[in-house]
Structure 1
Amino acid sequence: MSALALQGITKSFGTTPVLTGVDLHVPVGSLTALLGPSGCGKTTLLRVIAGFDDPDTGTVTVGERLVAGPGRSVPARRRDIGFVPQEGGLFPHLSVAGNVTFGLPRRLRRDAGRVRELLALVGLDGDLADRAPHQLSGGQQQRVALARALAPEPSVVLLDEPFSSLDATLREETRQAVAAALTATGATAVLVTHDQAEALSMADQVAVLRGGRLVQLTDPRTLYRHPADLDVATFVGESVVLEADVRDGRAHSILGELALDGAASDGPARVLLRPEQLRLGAPTGAVPQARVRSVDFYGHDSRVWLDLPGGATVIARLEGAELPLVGQDVGITVVGRALPFPAVPGAALSGAVALSAGTEMDAVPAESV
Structure 2
Amino acid sequence: MSALTVLDVTKSYGTTPVLTGIDLHVPAGTTTALLGPSGCGKTTLLRIVAGFDDPDSGTVELGGRVVAGNGRGVPARRRGIGFVPQEGGLFPHLTVAANVMFGLPRRQRRDRARVAELLALVGLDADLAGRSPHQLSGGQQQRVALARALAPEPSLVLLDEPFSSLDASLREETRRAVTRALAVTEATAVLVTHDQAEALSTASQVAVLRGGRLVQLADPRTLYRRPRDLDVATFVGEAVVLPADVRDGRAHSEVGVLDLEPRTGDGPARVLLRPEQLRLTEPGPEVPVARVSAVDFFGHDARVSLELASGRVVAARLDGRQLPEAGDRVGIEVRGAALPFPLEEPAAEPPTGPAAGVFGLAGEPFGGPDGAPSDLDTTTWTPAAR
TM range, smaller chain? over 0.9
> Shift of the alpha carbon at 1:206?
0.6
CA shift for structure 1 position 104: 2.4
Cα deviation 1:99-157 (Å, max 9, x = unaligned): 11113232211111111111111111111111110011101000000000000110000
Distance 1:336 1:307, change over 3 A: same
The corresponding residue for 1:287 is 287
1:208 corresponds in structure 2 to: 208
- Whether contact under 8 Å (2:97, 2:130) holds in the other structure is yes
TM-score, scaled to structure 2: 0.90
User: Matched residues in 1 for 2:104 and 2:278: separation?
Assistant: 55
Distance 1:271 1:333, change over 3 A: same
Kindly indicate whether the alpha-carbon contact (under 8 Å) linking 2:36 and 2:208 is maintained by their aligned counterparts in 1.
yes
**2:88 maps to 1:85:** no
Report if aligned partners of 2:356, 2:362 keep a CA contact under 8 Å in 1. no
Distance 1:346 1:94 in 2: 52
Q: Partner residue of 1:142?
A: 142
Cα distance in 1, alignment partners of residues 324 and 247 from structure 2: 34
Deviation at 1:349, TM superposition (A): 8.6
Aligned to 2:8: 8
Distance 1:92 1:58 in 2: 38
* Equivalent in the alignment of 1:234: 234
RMSD over aligned Cα atoms: 2.1
1:1-369 equivalent positions in 2, closer than 5 A: 1-343=1-343, 365-367=361-363
Q: Are the structure 2 counterparts of residues 217 and 347 from structure 1 closer, same or farther at C-alpha, using a change threshold of 3 Å?
A: closer
Q: Which runs of 5+ in 1 are unaligned?
A: 358-362
Mapped to 1, the partners of 2:342 and 2:355 lie a distance apart of: 18
The one-letter amino acid paired with 1:186 is E
- Structure 1 Cα separation of the partners of residues 280 and 120 of structure 2: 48
| 8 Å Cα contact 2:8/2:22 also seen in 1 | yes
Please list the CA deviations of residues 197-253 of structure 1 after superposition, one character each: whole Å capped at 9, or x if unmatched.
111111111111111111111110101110111100000111000100111111111
Contact preservation (8 Å) 1:9, 1:19: yes
| Cα separation, partners in 2 of 1:9 and 1:207, compared to 1, 3 Å | same
Change (3 A) 1:98 1:254: same
The structure-2 alpha-carbon separation of the partners of 1:279 and 1:21, relative to structure 1 and needing over 3 Å to count, comes to: same
Shift of 1:354: 10
C-alpha distance in 2, partners of 1:162/1:131? 21
Q: What TM-score, normalized by structure 1, do the two folds share?
A: 0.94
Check the 8 A contact 2:209/2:216 in 1, yes or no.
yes
Shift in CA distance, 29/297, structure 1 to aligned 2, threshold 3 Å: same
Alpha-carbon separation, structure 1, partners of 2:348 and 2:64: 49
Greater shift in the superposed pair: 96-105 or 245-254: 96-105
8 Å contact 2:292–2:330 — kept in the other structure? yes
Mapped partners of 2:356, 2:157: distance in 1: 34
Contact 1:159–1:192 (CA<8 Å) still a contact in 2? yes
Q: Output the CA distance in 2 between the equivalents of 1:60 and 1:254.
A: 49
Structure 1 match to 2:371: none
2:293–2:305 contact (8 Å) kept in structure 1: yes
The whole-number CA distance in structure 2 between the counterparts of 1:348 and 1:100 is 49
Letter matched to residue 81 of structure 1: I
Q: One-letter code of the match for 1:136?
A: L
Whether the 8 Å contact between 1:239 and 1:275 is mirrored in structure 2 is yes
- Counterpart code for 1:233: A
One-letter code aligned to 2:207: A
Q: Give the 3-state SS of the residue equivalent to 1:309 in structure 2.
A: coil
The alpha carbon displacement at 1:264 in A equals 1.2
CA distance in 1, matches of 2:37, 2:281: 36
Cα drift, residue 282 of structure 1: 1.2
The 3-state SS of whatever aligns with 1:208 is strand
Instruction: Give the deviation of 1:355 after TM superposition.
Output: 6.7
Cα distance change on mapping 1:65 and 1:349 into 2, 3 Å: closer
**Distance in 1 of aligned mates of 2:211 and 2:106:** 44
- Judged with a 3 Å threshold, the aligned counterparts in structure 2 of structure 1 residues 302 and 100 are, in CA distance, closer, same or farther, namely same
Amino acid at match of 2:135: Q
Identity %: 73
Give the 4+ runs in structure 1 shifted more than 4 A: 344-350, 353-357
One-letter code aligned to 1:189: A
* Greater relative contact order, per chain length (Cα 8 Å cut-off, separation 6+): 1
Task: Provide the residue aligned with 1:360 in structure 2.
Answer: none
